[in-house]
Structure 1
Amino acid sequence: MEISTLTAYHCLAFVWYFFVIYSITCLRTEERPSEVFLYGGQWKYLTVLNLFVSISFWTLYTYNRELVYPKRLDGVIPLWLNHAMHTAILPVALLEILATPHRYPAKKKGLILLGCAAFLYISWVLWIHFVTGEWVYPLFASFSPAGLGAFFIGNFAIIVCFYNFGEFLNRMIWGDSIVILDYKQKSK
C-alpha cells in the first residue's frame, strides 16, 4: 500500500479509536446502573483498554449476554457504541494485516510481552474485585478460584493462538517483505 494511503488509514483508525473512547467518557452516568463504571471507571474493561476483543465478546454474548454485557447496559451504552467497540474493530484489525507488513519480535520475546500484558490486566481485574467485592465481568462470579485460574490460563492459550495466527497471516500475505524491510533499515 502506498505510504500516503497507509498514513491516512492509520490516522483514520486512530481518530476512530479516540472517538470511541471519547464517546464512552461522555456517557450519561446518571442513567447507569449503580455498579457500572464505579471503581476503575471504564478503564476496568478490556474493550476500552484494547479494542481487539471482538471474537471473545461476541462468543460470550451469544452464549449468555449477561456474562459480559448485561441487558441493563442497553440504556446506558447506545447500540452504535457497542458495535463500535465490539464489531467494527475486527475489520479494522484485518485491514491492518492486509495494509502493511509487521515485524514480530522473536517468538520468546513476543510471548513474554503478551504474557506480561495479560498478567497486568488480570492483576487489575483481581484488584478491582478485592477493593469492591464485585467482578468486572459477571462471568467471573460463576467460577471457583481454581476455575477462574483455569479460565485465565485458557484465555491466555487462545491469545497465544491468535498471536501465532496473526504472525502466520503476516508471513503468508507479505512473505519476504519483512526481511526486505529489515535489510533496507540496516543498509541506511
Structure 2
Amino acid sequence: DGIKVGQGPGSICSTRRETGIGMPQVTAIHDCVKALSKDFSHIPVCADGGIVNHGDIPIAFASGAHSVMMGRMFAGTKEAPGETYKHSDGSVWKIYRGMGSREALNENSASRERYGASGAIFLPEGVTSHVAFQGPVEKVLIPCVLALRKSMRYVKAPNIKYLREKTAMRRITTAGLRESHPHDVQLA
C-alpha cells in the first residue's frame, strides 16, 4: 500500500489548467507526509510527477517522498511505450501521451473511467506530445542515480531515509532560481 501524490505536475498533464485543482508538487508531498506522520507514518508516499531535472529527485525525497515517478524523463527511451519516428531533419522522436489525453481517452476504457469520461463529449486532462529519442533507459537512469548520490553527499545523507527525515528545506526566490542555473554566459 502507499499514496501517490501529484495532481497535475506532470509534463503532459493539463489537470490544473482545465479544472483549477492541484498544488506545487513539493508542497503536496510535504503536506501529505505531515498529515500521515502521527498515525500513518508507515504508509509510503510516491511523488507522481514534477521531476523535470535530475536535482528534482533529491528534492522530492527531502520533501518526504519514499519514491518518485518519472514519466517524461523515461518517455524517450527505447523501453518506453510510444511510436518512434524520424523527423525531416533526421532526428528521432517518440510520441508521448498522458492517460488523460484525448487520444488515450478515445482508445482506452481504463483512462475513460479514471478521468470520468463518458459519452461523446469529455474534458481531456492531458496532452499528446513528442520527445527526443534517448536510446536505452540506462542512458537516462545512470545520470539520475549519480545526481542523487552527489546530492546526498553534499548534505551528508548516508541513505535516502536520512535524506527524507533530516534534510532542511528552504524556499527559493526567483533570483535564487535564476542563479541556480548557468547564467550570464553564452552556452557553447
Q: Normalised by the size of structure 1, how large is the TM-score?
A: 0.26
Q: TM-score, normalised by structure 2?
A: 0.26
Q: Which has the higher contact order (CA 8 A, sep 6+)?
A: 1
Where is the helix percentage greater, Structure 1 or Structure 2? 1
Task: From the two aligned structures, give the one with the greater strand fraction.
Answer: 2
